[in-house]
Amino acid sequence: MNITFITLEHTNPSLGPHETVTEVTLTKSKDNVERITSFIRTAQVNGVVTLEAYIKAVQSKDMKVLEEVSKNAPDRMLTTGGTISNLHIHFEEEASIRLNDVYRRFNLTHFYPDFTSYMVAQGTKTQYKPFLGFGGEEKDVPPKMFDSLVSEKPPKPQKPTKD
């Protein structure tokens, strides 16, 4: 498992065009490799497996482990105006792993405030407005943001339409 960097993304889509996305990225280096490795090996995901075992289960599509983790997910609701935080773990040769809504859908030991504080202190913080450029200059929108705006399935209409 060769992690290249870890990103914690905070977003609040309910703000619409006023939304600001904040990302903290910790790039693996000789100065922090032990801290990252320790976190991955010791953090427990929903009291079921270590984060390392969870990553391997996601990569191998081990449904038994994934279902057990899901079954033990905390029951925390997203309230109006609430922030959604996503944890992305990027690898050198494998696809990245994303823990969506990490604070509500996962009990991840040693993560908050321990590892998140470390990420903020040692990582790089960026902020951007994902809607900047819609009706304005597209050059101000990070290219990766356009990728997340394209969905595999078209959205369902909110109101019945007449054809």
* Greatest CA separation for the chain: 61
Domain boundaries, the chain: 3-149
Assess contact for 101 and 90: CB atoms under 8 A.
no
Of 111, 125, 122, which Cα lies nearest the Cα of 31?
122
> In this model, does residue 135 exceed pLDDT 80?
no
- pLDDT grade for 80, boundaries at 50, 70 and 90: confident
pTM of the model: 0.77
